[in-house]
Copies of this chain bind each other. A is one copy, B any other.
Amino acid sequence: MDRISLELIKGIAKPSPTRIVLLVIDGVGGLPNPETGKTELETARTPNLDQLATKGMCGLIDPVSSGVTPGSGPGHLALFGYDPLSYNIGRGVLEAMGIGFDLKQEDVAARGNFCTVDKVGLVTDRRAGRISTKKCSELCQLLDRGVIDRVKLFVRPVKEHRFVVIFRGEGLSADVSDSDPQQTGVAPKVITAHHAIARKTASIANQFIAQAGEALAKHYPANMVLLRGFSQHPQLPSMGEIYKLKPAAIASYPMYRGMAKLVGMEVLETGTTIEDEFMTLKQNYAKYDFFYLHIKQTDAAGEDGDFDRKVKIIEQIDSALSELISLEPDVIVVTGDHSTPALLKGHSWHPVPILLYSKWCRPDKVTKFSESACLSGGLGRFPATQIMLLAMANALKLTKFGA
């Protein structure tokens, strides 16, 4: 939140019977196809989005800052109104959330890499030649059997050489250094406590690493582990507290279900398709006053560099949107947590198109939901952290500031 603190919002938010739907099309922003000059969103046929754009207002958001490519964590925190520069979610916690691990408040999580070390223990490959995810799973099972000093360890595969370790027990602290030296030709670092209170955690982590080294000795190239990003469940004020909302999340991917849980949303059971998610919205519409609906497939297509697939998914979302529109929410916001241009095969720094529809919009002249049209939209270009405030205002859920 730029100048407006969560504390201030808490002071002006009021419950009301109106409903807000925040539809997050992950990685929706793109770049023009050099052959057509049109982005994925501009190529797709999107009558429903265009109708909303015509009735409502459009603009562009910066999730973190102009020029900064956001990860999914910061991108989503911003959408929910939390300053992603103030609320940092540790790497370990993000990885645990990403695989849907049910992290407890006191757990400490660390991101792990399987790596290669030479005979004298110097790191030669920080990613063990990017072993397969299958291999990673096997090795994690090998390591996942430990209790050290009465602390339970969970070792879970993520993808390729990536895994996550969760430490569960009393008196743990995430305030320890990494073992990952972030370079080759040197030995893994000994983990040290930044404060006395973290000594136990450092000791257990070092014991785990020593045991892992022994267990992996014959598993070249994955013959050692590197740990980094020790972190705990961050203590975020809940959306219920701040906005006086009863919020629900509809997301099929664990990472986003985890993000929603972090900010106190109720996470609804849903299926794996886009249609499933919209059906879940319909079925639960009466029970909540805020819905976060997350669609992952656009981002995945962008990451794969598959321009045409991303176009098709956007069209599929547009069709499913009829369902949402027929519910007549008081406020509909459609945007993404970042751009994922198929041309870049990854997240990017480009601002993300946004549309906001409500009865109380002062309409602009935009009649299409696209990057180029949003450039002249009435919402202008603004930080993503302001979206919630705008949505709340349009839902008449905010009282006057000052007399």
Contact = CB atoms under 8 A, between A and B. Distances in A.
Given A362-B371, A380-B381, A393 B349 contact: yes
Contacts of A206: none
A64 B89 CA distance: 29
Contact of A393 (B68, B84, B389): B68
A68 B360 contact: no
Of A67, A343, A350, A363, chain B has the most CB atoms within 10 Å of the CB of: A67
Contact of A401 (B71, B91, B362, B375): B71
A70 B362 contact: no
A8 interface: yes
Interface in A71-98: 71-75, 84-85, 88-89, 91, 94-95, 98
A241 to B, nearest CB: 17
Given A85-B3, A347-B400, A349-B398, A393 B72 contact: no
A183 to B, nearest CB: 14
Contact of A386 (B67, B350, B372): B67
Nearest to A91: B403
A67 B219 CA distance: 57
A393 B69 contact: yes
A132 interface: no
Of A69, A95, A371, chain B has the most CB atoms within 10 Å of the CB of: A69
A4 B389 contact: no
A390 interface: yes
A271 to B, nearest CB: 26
Contact of A69 (B3, B98, B365, B400): B400
B386 A94 contact: no
A385 to B, nearest CB: 10
Nearest to A83: B3
A71 B31 CA distance: 38
B72 A401 contact: no
Interface string A166-195: 000000000000000000000000000000
Contact of A70 (B67, B73, B376, B401): B401
Interface string A375-400: 11010111000100110110000111
A122 interface: no
A88 B5 CA distance: 15
A362 B32 CA distance: 7
B85 A8 contact: yes
A389 B67 contact: yes
Contacts of A375: 364, 378
Contact of A402 (B89, B380, B386, B400): B89
A309 to B, nearest CB: 20
30 contacts: A2-B65, A3-B85, A4-B67, A4-B68, A31-B360, A31-B362, A65-B386, A65-B389, A66-B382, A66-B386, A67-B386, A67-B389, A68-B389, A68-B393, A69-B400, A70-B402, A71-B401, A71-B402, A72-B402, A73-B402, A73-B403, A74-B402, A75-B402, A89-B402, A91-B403, A348-B360, A349-B390, A349-B398, A364-B372, A380-B381
Interface of A: 2-4, 8, 12, 31-32, 39, 64-75, 84-85, 88-89, 91, 94-95, 98, 343-344, 346-350, 360, 362-365, 371-372, 375-376, 378, 380-382, 386, 389-390, 392-393, 398-403
